[in-house]
Structure 1
């Protein structure tokens, strides 16, 4: 059983066959050291991810938080959490 090259003379990749797919192996199996290095650098998933929403805020509020630099959206989130905590 001969294997056809994956690319033609122009470097174009041909469509993969079922046979090609059957020969494929997981990246971590083929390159375990590299996969481990990538995993070590991966940021753990947030246990309580935030929902992306659209909300209209007064300009003065947005300008106030943006004046503090990067992370202004996280600061708005923190201020809202504090407001909830203070009400309870």
Structure 2
């Protein structure tokens, strides 16, 4: 089997501490695609971006109070999207 070269960003101690034997044919035969095993995770990973030519989201830096961040983060993953949804709802209500 081909020896893998240690990447520079991994310490020699960490590299030496890992002992991963090659997978057996039986183990390989039992493997399934990720979309069959954890479809919700794959769906979250594959979230579609705006199509080419359409306006997508833009990355910005904004300062929020600790209370706001804690409130949204306490509700789990997707907290930045929920903040965006809240702001869009406010914009729509102010526009009439």
The TM-score, its normalising length taken from structure 2, stands at 0.44
Larger radius of gyration: 1
